[in-house]
Amino acid sequence: MPRTYPLEKTRNIGIIAHIDAGKTTTTERILYYTGITYKVGEVHEGTTVTDWMPQERERGITIVSAAITCFWTPSYLEQENKNKDKEFKINIIDTPGHVDFTAEVERSLRVLDGAVVVFDGVQGVEAQSETVWRQADKYNVPRICFINKIDRMGADFEFSLKSIHERLTKDATLITLPIGQEENFQGVIDLISMREVYFEGDKGEKVVFKQIDPSRQNEAEKWRHIFIEKLAESDEEFLHKYLANEYNETDIRMAIRRATLKYHFIPVYVGSSLKNKGVQLLLDGVVDFLPSPLDLSYPKGTDPLTNQEIQRKPDDNEPLSALIFKIAVDPYVGTLSYVRVYSGVLQSGMTVLNTTSGQSFRVGRIARMHANHREEIPELFAGDIGAIVGIKDLKTGDTLADPKAPIIYEKIEFAEPVIWLKVEPKTKADQEKMGSAIKALVNEDPTFSFTQDLETGDTLIGGMGELHLEIKVDRLKREFNVDVNVGKPQVAYKETVMKEGVAEGKYIRQSGGRGQYGHVWLKVEPLPRGSGIEFVNAIRGGIIPDNFIPSVEKGVREAIQKGVLAGYPLQDIKVTLFDGSFHEVDSSDIAFKIAGSIALQESVKQANPILLEPIMKLEIVIPPEFLGDITGDLSSRRAKIEEVFDRGMSKVIRAQAPLAEMFGYVTVVRSLTQGRGTCIMEFSHYSEVPTSISQSIIENLSLAKK
């Protein structure tokens, strides 16, 4: 089948926001207006179509990034112009709004081309809006903003815009203006066409343009002036037209598009998703100003055979390359692997190479997700997004390629777990299903993992925070019917060294027959936080033959998994193999591996080993009268308060605190503030555990082992 939508009419977008800003409601309205949903679902009725899992509905947060396809023709085009040629295809990648799931946000930012950032018109910029904004900066995602909830009591678009300017970017520029606010919010003034826009009909589906009322003319002109000046500053081509005073609506739209794609300009819309006002103009913005796959620089990959950097054009005639960005298990069809095709065509029935795992497989069915149904399609073209159905062993982050032209896209990097939880099956039946259920969850989410404690046989699950693990346990029960008892959460401590240490490792056995001979000298030294482990081979002149070096490294890497203080994995160290000896007959891989392990442990003991603990970043929002209680409590938790400031009527406290002190903290905030405070917590970095505390951790651990 030929492609029906040219690439330049394709938009892959994400909607990102702080929790509760209205992302779900806005997505709902978008799906409604694009004609795919037939009934507008309300979050509180639990009928929204992007939120799939029962616990998402209960918690009111979107955890899973599903990709949904819809179609849109700009609303300002006259009716007769709205033929199919003017239609755009929009793939919406749903992103989570909770900080425990930043990895999911990052993952979706990788595969989308542009973003809509939704703000609460009462709160302005909130903690998570800042986090996702920075993430979008990291992936160079062009974006447009939507100040939502203009109808709410306390809504203030100027305050919200100011908070965007102060906290995010000066380039944010209002291109629609609200007509009235709070309960008087009626419609918007479109500053591009200088018309009033009203949204009539039951669900605001009818977009009506009117002349600007004389009473609002001055205000509209003031904001239009700010907007046009900013645009002239941001785009040279437009500057010339502006200076010559010769420009029309099309010139303005084209200039906004160019400047938005270059990150020089960020269009800001206002509206109320709940009251069905302003969403269609936002959709116009998506198709007019956000990039198509052709507008962006092509992603770079590596040729796995030569290790050379290579690039593929977003072109159907190039060899296939694609990235798996989400695995979801659907109760009806089984595993859905969401995929973004970067080049070539992914066809059902073709054999593709999973470059990441090295396995080839035959693509069975391919599906496109719409708001309320799944459509089977024969192929996905370059730049498009869909899902491969029923292939079990694909993982998030895998690259798929034409077996004759392999490429591997840079893997998405995810943090390691900072918290572990023991899970115990309740019954024998649970025990039988638990392993495969946990594996299915691990395939979906690279920040979630599990391990077996070799000494106790316990199964531990690991993740990025308490809520993250709570949700996994909940899903085990609901989706896989596996009931588990959970233990107390455990902090994922790490170990490292503070200075240089040198030691010898010998594994020599010579008692009749063939002996064993491995002998090495290692040096360990500290690296900056976050560097990981570096192994350097500095052996010269064959003192240890080359073929044994990988065995030494293997022994070192195994020993690194178990530090000398309390058995936590070591990190941020450089290990140099600089001396040793061998025996013509007795030396073997295993002898050098053991010698490597011994030398590593000994050299770490010489190097002043210490414990590291995960530090969390907190933002706590409370009514001012509780400030004293909260800060008092925080100081008893070894927290460092970094900033306290006002946001609207609330106090905001920014702090950092060790995870070990923060279990159950969200509930603590609620009870200290009579349920009115909120707290969000996100992993920040690893830092040294104070000596007195590290002593007791080590003692407790050795007691537990006795």
Q: Is 115 exposed, middle or buried (0-12, 13-18, 19+ CB in 10 A)?
A: buried
Nearer to ligand GDP, 30 or 438 (CB): 30
Residue 94 in contact with ligand GDP, rule: CB under 6 A:
no
Residue 273 in contact with ligand GDP, rule: CB under 6 A:
yes
Nearer to ligand GDP, 44 or 514 (CB): 44
Nearer to ligand GDP, 43 or 67 (CB): 43
Residues found in the chain? 706
Q: Are 50 and 68 in contact (CB under 8 A)?
A: yes
Nearer to ligand GDP, 74 or 97 (CB): 97
Those residues whose C-beta lies under 8 Å from the C-beta of residue 490, and which sit 6 or more positions away, are 419, 420, 421, 422, 460
In order of 319, 354, 397, 540, the CA distances from 306 in angstroms are 17, 17, 21, 27
Residue 154 in contact with ligand GDP, rule: CB under 6 A:
no
Nearer to ligand GDP, 274 or 492 (CB): 274
What is the per-residue burial (b if ≥16 Cβ within 10 Å, else e) of 456-480?
eeebbbbbbbbbbbbbbbebbeebb
Q: Give, to the nearest 10 degrees, the angle between helix 249-261 and helix 214-234.
A: 50
Among 10, 135, 148, 597, binds ligand GDP (CB under 6 A): 148
Segment lying near ligand GDP (by CB under 6 A), choices 88-96, 124-132, 177-185, 271-279 = 271-279
Residue 17 in contact with ligand GDP, rule: CB under 6 A:
yes
Number of chain positions touching ligand GDP (CB under 6 A): 22
Residue 25 in contact with ligand GDP, rule: CB under 6 A:
yes
- Nearest Cα residue to 654 out of 626, 673, 682, 675: 682
Place of tokens 């709410």: 152
Residue 160 in contact with ligand GDP, rule: CB under 6 A:
no
Q: Shortest approach of ligand GDP to residue 26 CB, angstroms?
A: 7
Residue 23 in contact with ligand GDP, rule: CB under 6 A:
yes
Alpha carbon of residue 317 to chain centroid: 31
What backbone phi and psi angles, to 5 degrees, belong to 107?
Answer: -60, -45
Alpha carbon of residue 270 to chain centroid: 26
Those residues whose C-beta lies under 8 Å from the C-beta of residue 87, and which sit 6 or more positions away, are 5, 9, 71, 72, 73
Distance of alpha carbon 466 from alpha carbon 455, whole angstroms: 25
Among 6, 60, 319, 515, binds ligand GDP (CB under 6 A): 60
Place of tokens 């990291």: 138
Question: Is residue 94 helix, strand or coil?
Answer: strand
Among 104, 151, 235, 682, binds ligand GDP (CB under 6 A): 151
Nearer to ligand GDP, 15 or 369 (CB): 15
Q: Shortest approach of ligand GDP to residue 92 CB, angstroms?
A: 13
Nearer to ligand GDP, 274 or 599 (CB): 274
Segment lying near ligand GDP (by CB under 6 A), choices 13-21, 240-248, 484-492, 691-699 = 13-21
Q: Shortest approach of ligand GDP to residue 15 CB, angstroms?
A: 9
Rounded (10°) CA dihedral 285, 290, 295, 298: -160
Residue 272 in contact with ligand GDP, rule: CB under 6 A:
yes
| Binding residues among 336-355 for ligand GDP as defined by CB under 6 A | none
Nearer to ligand GDP, 62 or 356 (CB): 62
Q: Shortest approach of ligand GDP to residue 278 CB, angstroms?
A: 9
Among 10, 12, 24, 37, binds ligand GDP (CB under 6 A): 24
Helices then strands, counting H and E runs in the chain, come out as 16, 38
Question: Looking at 101-239, which runs of residues are DSSP E strands?
Answer: 114-120, 143-148, 172-174, 176-179, 187-190, 195-200, 206-210
What backbone phi and psi angles, to 5 degrees, belong to 514?
Answer: -80, 130
Those residues whose C-beta lies under 8 Å from the C-beta of residue 486, and which sit 6 or more positions away, are 421, 422, 423, 424, 473
* Apex 608 CA angle, 603 and 610, nearest 5: 115
Distance of alpha carbon 696 from alpha carbon 706, whole angstroms: 15
Q: Shortest approach of ligand GDP to residue 364 CB, angstroms?
A: 33
Q: Shortest approach of ligand GDP to residue 277 CB, angstroms?
A: 8
Query: What is the biggest distance separating any 2 CA atoms in the chain, rounded to whole angstroms?
Result: 105
Nearer to ligand GDP, 62 or 343 (CB): 62
Residue 14 in contact with ligand GDP, rule: CB under 6 A:
no
Q: Shortest approach of ligand GDP to residue 25 CB, angstroms?
A: 3
Among 22, 114, 187, 463, binds ligand GDP (CB under 6 A): 22
Among 7, 30, 31, 43, binds ligand GDP (CB under 6 A): 43
Segment lying near ligand GDP (by CB under 6 A), choices 222-230, 235-243, 267-275, 512-520 = 267-275
Segment lying near ligand GDP (by CB under 6 A), choices 145-153, 526-534, 536-544, 624-632 = 145-153
Among 7, 11, 13, 20, binds ligand GDP (CB under 6 A): 20
Q: Shortest approach of ligand GDP to residue 102 CB, angstroms?
A: 15
Segment lying near ligand GDP (by CB under 6 A), choices 268-276, 392-400, 502-510, 638-646 = 268-276
Footprint on this chain of ligand GDP (rule: CB under 6 A):
17, 19-25, 43-44, 60-62, 97, 148-149, 151-152, 272-275
